[in-house]
Chains A and B, each alone.
Chain A
Amino acid sequence: MIGIAMAKNTISSPSTRSKALMNLIRHILKFRRDLFIVLFFIYCLALSYEFKITNVYDLYDSNLITVLAIILPSLLILDVGLRDEGRSLVAYVIVAATLIAWFVGEIRGVFVIVVLLILLYHFSKDNPRKGVFVVLASIALLVTGLVLCEGLLNLLGASSTQVVFISGVSIFVVLLWRRT
């Protein structure tokens, strides 16, 4: 927004330097979404160093809320950034909620519910139909697979095997939607 405001201001001033600055801002704005996706890329890689989960089956007992509190806002931020809607209410709410939840550990559950509601509201703007089915089917596939293969995967030091299993399910999902 600051960029747009600056661009608007510089339009009115006729100097060559201002015009050059305006062009620079225009170019930056044009590649804003590309810049965003690169930043998101770095953010995700940095995030994966911050949290450690050794066993996916222990998730329900201890870390599920934390994982959801990180993954759901990340996806929401990704979608808001890609849509490039400018001043989105969702973006402000997420930032505010993240800051509160970050400092007050006890209300993380409430934070996850709020984010989930925002997520549903945000994606409802797409009028989704088939997409909802794809998301639910993919999650169900992963959960069912993990439950069915618990005997094979829930072992001490089997986190690499669990990663391989999740990546296998992901490849299956990719192949499924590529065909549709």
Chain B
Amino acid sequence: MRREEILMLLAFLLFVHGYLLQNVFPALLAFSIVVYLAYIRSEFSPNIEAERRIDSRLVEGTRTISKLKLRNLTNKKLRIAILEDSLPSGFESETPPPFILDGREEREVEYFIIPVKGVYKVRGPRIRITDLRDFYYADFVIDSEVEVEVYPSLDKIKEEAKVEENIKLATTYQKMLLGLQTMEIHSLRGFQLGDDTKHVEWKATARLGELIVKDFLREVESDVYIVLDAGREMRKGVKNSKVDYATTLALQLVYALRRYKVGLIVYDDFGVKYRVEASKSPEQIEKIARSLNISPIHSDLLGVKLPEISFKLSEESRNFLRRILPVFRRKGFATGLIEVMSSLPLMTFLIFIPDITAHTNELIRVLSEFKNKHKILILTPNPVLFYDESKLDRETLLWLYKRYIEREEFIKKLNKLVPTLDLGPSDLLDVIRGALE
């Protein structure tokens, strides 16, 4: 019960008491309480001016200062509470406790916002203005909209991808995918974890007092391109979308392969979205991280249709749809993919991170066509493994299992074309390295 209601109830009881006991005093007391409430109500007419300032380029998971400039336009004290309830999904805020703003006072309040990866329009915040007696309040929404780009945190990625694992992974790639070493020595360098002990240069080691290995020239040291699908299916998600996982994985790969010329191509249903040319420069990781500001789409459909919306189609209808649908799909997915493939130089090493549940026929067609022109590896997030555990019931589980089996079959088909790894939300570098070895 609100405080105002308690006082109104008190006034009512006093009137009843006075009427029943034929006593005017309680009625006068009740009247004075009613007038007091009328006074507070009529005095509460808040009016403030507010402006929010926030950087337009933020880093994922980093506490960012949001500055709020407030100005009390009335000559009365107001209690102010900042409510950040219109922040994009996944954002967190550390708002200050309620404070009092004096009449005509101007104050700048600073508090923190913790963003998540993507491009967002940040609205608000909502400011709740309360009178000093906590009887009445008014909500004031700041009419501002700031577009922010939130980039993945490089420090976080580096921390996640342990150096030891990266070196091992790099060695694996070097052996398997980036061409064989020749017998011609390119240079001498310090021993790193993962180097073959056969290549230790003992004379130099004895002279310098530390392990030195021979670095051989390679047959081919082709560019590495990470090709990331940022289409609608990849961006769907409830808590973590596949694209969140895929961008983390892409960054870890870039970091692990930093000794090679690594580039990035992001495409969606309509074409190539970003392209970062392959380079060995130290700024390459940061450059790529800035390109990976892909916003997830929060929905229940994680690239798989929910069982309750399933409906049966006759065989004829399915055949008809099979013929018709690729026409529409080709416009989306295949256009982006073909554009990516045709823009690459020959014999590039491609690490594909696509969603294979959608537009499968086009993917197979493109892979069949380009598998001899490039070295391709597919890393695909499995939507079944990304399903929200809290929503699992018997029916969904059975249905997901069927989907999983179907997908396994499809992965086998893809594996005949190019090496394909099916990944879950916790499979990062070490798992991929194990699978490759």
B43 touches A128 (CB 8 A): yes
Assess whether A114 is interfacial by the CB under 8 Å rule: no
Question: Cβ of B38: which chain A residues have Cβ within 8 Å of it?
Answer: 134-135, 138, 173-174, 176-177
Shortest CB distance A96–B (Å) = 22
B24 touches A55 (CB 8 A): yes
A interface footprint on B26-44 (CB within 8 Å = 1, 0 otherwise): 1111111111111111110
Assess whether B424 is interfacial by the CB under 8 Å rule: no
Assess whether A9 is interfacial by the CB under 8 Å rule: no
Question: Cβ of A101: which chain B residues have Cβ within 8 Å of it?
Answer: none
Known: A130-B43, A131-B39, A159-B23. A47 touches B15 (CB 8 A): no
Known: A139-B35, A163-B27, A170-B30. A48 touches B18 (CB 8 A): yes
* Contact with B24, one of A40, A56, A133 (Cβ below 8 angstroms): A56
Distance between Cα atoms of A120 and B39 in the complex (Å): 13
B34 touches A174 (CB 8 A): yes
Distance between Cα atoms of A127 and B132 in the complex (Å): 13
A interface footprint on B331-373 (CB within 8 Å = 1, 0 otherwise): 0000000000000000000000000000000000000000000
Known: A37-B3, A173-B34. A130 touches B42 (CB 8 A): yes
Interface residues of B in 6-53 (CB under 8 A from A): 6-11, 13-15, 17-19, 21-43, 45
Shortest CB distance B47–A (Å) = 13
Assess whether A121 is interfacial by the CB under 8 Å rule: no
Distance between Cα atoms of A121 and B429 in the complex (Å): 72
Assess whether A160 is interfacial by the CB under 8 Å rule: yes
Distance between Cα atoms of A129 and B44 in the complex (Å): 11
Known: A135-B39, A176-B38, A177-B38. A127 touches B76 (CB 8 A): yes
Residue of A nearest to B40 (CB): A131
Assess whether B203 is interfacial by the CB under 8 Å rule: no
Question: Cβ of B39: which chain A residues have Cβ within 8 Å of it?
Answer: 123, 128, 131, 134-135
Question: Cβ of B34: which chain A residues have Cβ within 8 Å of it?
Answer: 138, 170, 173-174
Residue of B nearest to A36 (CB): B3
Distance between Cα atoms of A44 and B7 in the complex (Å): 10
Assess whether B89 is interfacial by the CB under 8 Å rule: no
A166 touches B28 (CB 8 A): yes
Distance between Cα atoms of A48 and B22 in the complex (Å): 11
How many residues belonging to A are interface residues under a CB distance threshold of 8 Å? Answer: 55
Shortest CB distance A38–B (Å) = 8
Assess whether B192 is interfacial by the CB under 8 Å rule: no
Shortest CB distance A178–B (Å) = 8
A166 touches B43 (CB 8 A): no
Distance between Cα atoms of A82 and B32 in the complex (Å): 16
Residue of A nearest to B20 (CB): A160
Among B15, B38, B75, the one with the most A-chain Cβ atoms within 10 Å of its Cβ is: B38
Residue of B nearest to A142 (CB): B31
Among A34, A160, A178, the one with the most B-chain Cβ atoms within 10 Å of its Cβ is: A160
Given contacts A45-B13, A163-B26, 8 further A-B pairs with CB under 8 A are A37-B7, A74-B32, A75-B36, A83-B132, A131-B42, A134-B38, A167-B19, A170-B34
Provide 17 A-B residue pairs closer than 8 Å at the C-beta atoms, listed in order of the A residue.
A41-B9, A45-B14, A53-B28, A71-B29, A74-B32, A82-B133, A83-B132, A128-B39, A129-B43, A130-B43, A139-B35, A162-B27, A164-B19, A167-B30, A174-B37, A177-B38, A177-B42
The 8 lowest CB-CB distance pairs between A and B, nearest first, are: A48-B26, A82-B133, A131-B43, A177-B38, A163-B18, A159-B22, A166-B27, A163-B27
